[in-house]
Amino acid sequence: MIYDTLIVGGGSAGNILAARLTEDESRQVLLLEAGPDYPTTDSLPADIRLGFGTPSGIIAKSHDWGYTAQATPQRDDLDVPRGRVVGGSSAVNAQIFLRGIPEDFAAWEAMGNDRWTWEKVLPYYCKLENDHDYGDAAYHGDDGPIGVRRYPEEEWGPDQQAWAEACRQAGFPECPDANLPGSTGFGPYPINNIAGVRQSTAVTYLAQARNRPNFHIQAECTTRRILLESGSAVGVEVVRNGKPERFHADETVLCAGAIGTPQIMMLSGIGPESHLREVGVRVSHHLPGVGSNLRDHPTVDLFWHLLFKPTGRFHWHQAGLRYTADGSQMNNDMIVYIGAVPDNAADTEAFLFVRPTLNLAIGQGVLLLRSADIQDQPLLNYRYFEELFDRERQREGIRLCTELIEEHPAFRTVKGEVLQGPGDALNDNAALDQWILANAETGHHSSSTCKMGPPSDPLAVADQSGRVHGIDGLRIVDASLMPDSVRANINATVMMMAEKIAAEMAGEN
């Protein structure tokens, strides 16, 4: 059978694309996913179904690709969790549902992507959400598949209440809706978790679509390469149950994420010619931008001993802080996450977790192949904090969080001794830089490894519709397509991108 559309990756983007495209009964759609498929919400393992209150905490680790990466030369390799399950990373993530801000899309437009202005993406942010708090506002949606809510302050834990009081007295503005354009400061984070259930694209979009006769799902299929004939994509080759299989389609769409998509592209001979030859891949099409421009939100973790024991269903990230670093021209370029972690979430004593994070980094990394074998995970080098401006802002974030938590009276009954922090290095820039480099962490927001842009951009991989430059019948719709990261957790933006491109593919815009 030749499908109309073949989608590789049943995650945040792939499930939305499949659900929207199969609304047209005449279109035959095949969705391929490397991980398992749980066809009902009740059949999901608890750590996938429930976003909070499970032994592994809010980031499920049972269905993970097992990626590791180099953060800096001073640090051991770090884990980069990515969901390997129908639902993708939307089924394992922390469920913070922040949108990108208007300035992010102004930057995308300046890079040659004039169809991705704030005015043109906002309708798709609204289309996908059912905001339980602000759904009647013009800049929100109230009937989309993804349920969104915020914790009212009276439900916050002692850690979140202490953080709010410290931020108030430090002069930061209150921010009741962080998805309000132009907002900043401290307040509740929007989360896509309703009644304890993680609102992944599997339990929302896919649940509405999976029984359609024109929709076909094949799980536990690892895509090995794109099938190319005369400069066109005609399908993919997968490995299932240890055996190769081929599926054919008029159009193939890669939704395998910022790590999986460039890996599949390069294994298919599409990418930087010299690198492909080095690892023994026959070059089909030279595209130097594949795997370059690897973006993330680099961070470091601070820990204090927790003086109270969280009870019941615990919730991280009820509230946080966004602000603009001193001297920065980039609005909201810093974000802080904070939460009380009970002992059953980390198999250790309960602790206060604080994560000052670069919400928009200057530095970028690279993704390369280790070999021509799909079983060899790619080489990820994030190159965190190589840029002086990135280190300067991270220093400021660490000092700000340390001051608020160590000196504000509201934390006296919340935190005890420091479990991880810079110690005496806090007051010495050079020493603090070394501590940052040795303790750098991923923000879990990898993106931009197959960025969209005009053909005049030598590192652009696809056009504004995700169509790969120089290859007919091949499209990309996932975080790899972003020309740069957004100043937010990226899941909501990936969903918006899928909604926007799905509408275009369906002829709606």
Long-range contacts, stretch 185-189, CB < 8 angstroms, 24+ apart: 185/321, 185/322, 185/323, 186/319, 186/320, 186/321, 186/322, 187/319, 187/320, 188/150, 188/151, 188/152, 188/153, 188/156, 188/318, 188/319, 189/96, 189/97, 189/98, 189/150, 189/317, 189/318, 189/319, 189/320
The CA distance from 308 to 58, in Å, is 20
Best CA proximity match to 440, nearest among 294, 297, 295, 299: 299
CA atoms within 13 Å, Cβ hemisphere of 288: 6
CA–CA distances in Å: residue 130 to residues 139, 197, 322, 351: 12, 15, 23, 33
- Check if 445 is active-site: yes
Residue 14 per-residue DSSP state? H
User: Residue 103 and residue 291: Cα distance in Å, rounded?
Assistant: 25
Q: Which of 440, 342, 446 is nearest to 56 (CA)?
A: 342
Residue 285 · residue 272 · CB < 8 Å: no
**C-alpha distances in Å from residue 299, one per residue of 237, 256, 337, 413:** 37, 24, 10, 26
Catalytic entry in 63, 297, 445, 469: 445
Residue 289 CB partners (closer than 8 Å, separation 6+): 450, 451, 457, 458, 459, 460, 461
Structural element, H or E, at residue 5: strand 2-8
Catalytic residues, which ones?
445
